[in-house]
Chain A
Amino acid sequence: MIKALSTASTGMDAQQIRIAVIANNIANVNTTGFKTSRAEFQDLIYETVQAPGGDTASGVSAPMGFQVGSGTGVVGTQNLFTQGTMEQTNNSLDVAIEGKGFIAVQLPTGETAYTRAGSLSINASGQLVNQNGFPLVPAVTLQTNGIERRIGIDGTVTSRVPPATAPTSEGTIGVWTFPNDAGLKAVGRNLYQETPVSGTPTQGTAGTQGAGTLRQGFLESSNVNIAEELIKMILAQRAYELNGKVISTSDQMLGATSQLR
């Protein structure tokens, strides 16, 4: 009976984690470039009282086994890198990636992080930086007094410095791809970092080798589907209640046992 109690508590724990993940998704519904996450669960160790096909006392092999599980546990949270909706901003330094890939930025620690949020701006030294002020990798230094700045779908940044009439190139925004996006580690601030399971990043040119293309004047909204999250939340709440019910029923049985004499 103690086992039913602990089994049910793993179920309640699991639903609690599920709700926490859903809450984070809903909280970030308006976060540019945010990718929805889902908690993945698995069953735990089974107590095999009798394996199927095993011998029963009567010497006949059993047509079925007898296994009792011990609940559920989190196997991980998976970020889903499906495309978010494109929102037109008309800001010349906003870029959205259409398709696979990330923009890389350099953290103050020297490490590289990857993001889908393309609301860029210019820092004091004229470099393109992301919303946190981290410079892009590879760095793109803009010309002072450049006007009519264009970011091509392949990531090339150009602007025209009057009185010149032709635009000149300022650099290229790289699009980085990973073998396994879902293996990236979310580190907050809309940034992801490489892990052993994500594989090593490849710096590609936008639009080639599987990398997505860049869209100037657009931002990618989060890919959180509110209706779906709410349904999951209702399910999680009910599942939580049911597991609570298992605990109370087991407790009743346990209580009755202690009354035996």
Chain B
Amino acid sequence: MSYTALSGQLGAMKAMEVMANNLANMTTTGFRAERVQFETVVSKEYSKLSAGMTNTDVRMPSYSSPAAFLGIRGTFTDLSQGGIETTGNPLDVAIQGEGLFVVNTPDGERYTRAGNFSLDATGRLVTQQGHAVQGSSGDILINGSEVNVTASGEVIVDQTQVAQLRIVDAKPGTLLRESGMLFSVAEGQAVADVEKIQVQGGALEGSNVNAVRELTDMIMASRLFESFQKSQESGSRMSELRNTRVGSVSG
């Protein structure tokens, strides 16, 4: 009893931590919300009665119920579209629909949705963290005054196309988060290039954290926590009664 309640409380706490991270990143460009999925873990059956027999070979009339625990199956990245705001800054790019930008990091290829790009000292297009954004033929060099990114992801510098942005898509549930707005794919998984690229230059995609949803989930988690607290307390009270009343001689 008390362990079931404890598992629920731990789950609510973990969910709370995930929501806290979502809300902290509510205004982070390109941030994708993380969602928690709960599951019921059936841990133990009090008596294995599928055979229907007890040791005295008498059929028991009912089935003893198993103890269930609430667990977190995992978290997954909500890849839904965030709001797009126009900034007028030519190096800002927002992806419309599915996909992720490809960046080159010291640890290898990584993916991001944050399109608040900048240039480095050599004129390469880089993310805020300084990782080079990848086009279909590697790093994107911008040496010129007028930069435009077309709706299909072509990078135009002074009326000349210099690169084509690479946008890839990953299977749901295969993305692993890293700090600095990066995603990597799980081992043994691969990304696929998006063929019909849809981006918007001079615009940024905000985070897709929905404050109303996070807030209601947070209230739910805290109420869930409280109700597990109550069952914890009544369980404790029952044990107390058992220890003090049972076996005591009345009168």
Say which residue of B13, B26, B89 sits within 8 Å of A80 (CB atoms).
B89
Say which residue of A43, A62, A212, A259 sits within 8 Å of B28 (CB atoms).
A43
Task: Check A43 against B31 for contact (C-beta < 8 Å).
Answer: yes
List residues of A (204-254) whose CB comes within 8 Å of B's CBs: 210-212, 235-236, 238-239, 242-243, 245-246, 249-250, 252-253
Task: Check A64 against B173 for contact (C-beta < 8 Å).
Answer: yes
Give the complex CA separation of A42 and B180 in angstroms: 5
Binds B, one of A8-16, A85-93, A111-119: A8-16
Give the complex CA separation of A260 and B89 in angstroms: 54
Q: Mark A38-73, 1 if CB is under 8 A from B, else 0.
A: 001111111010111100000000111111111110
Question: How many Cβ-Cβ contacts under 8 Å join chain A to chain B?
Answer: 212
Task: Check A51 against B176 for contact (C-beta < 8 Å).
Answer: yes
Whether a CB of chain A sits under 8 angstroms from the CB of B175 is yes
Whether a CB of chain B sits under 8 angstroms from the CB of A182 is yes
Give the complex CA separation of A68 and B35 in angstroms: 10
Chain B's nearest CB lies how many Å from the CB of A104? 18
Task: Check A261 against B21 for contact (C-beta < 8 Å).
Answer: no
Say which residue of B12, B158, B211 sits within 8 Å of A253 (CB atoms).
B12
* Known A43-B179, A100-B145, A183-B119; contact A69-B186, beta-carbon cutoff 8 A: no
Task: Check B128 against A75 for contact (C-beta < 8 Å).
Answer: yes
Task: Check B75 against A7 for contact (C-beta < 8 Å).
Answer: no
Chain B's nearest CB lies how many Å from the CB of A228? 8
Task: Check A63 against B173 for contact (C-beta < 8 Å).
Answer: yes
Q: Mark B1-41, 1 if CB is under 8 A from A, else 0.
A: 00000000100111011111101111111010010010000
* Known A82-B88, A100-B145; contact A67-B180, beta-carbon cutoff 8 A: no
Whether a CB of chain B sits under 8 angstroms from the CB of A199 is yes
On A, residues with C-beta under 8 Å from B are: 1, 3-5, 7-8, 10-11, 14-15, 18, 40-46, 48, 50-53, 62-72, 75-76, 78, 80, 82, 99-100, 177, 179-180, 182-183, 196-200, 210-212, 235-236, 238-239, 242-243, 245-246, 249-250, 252-253, 256-257, 259-261
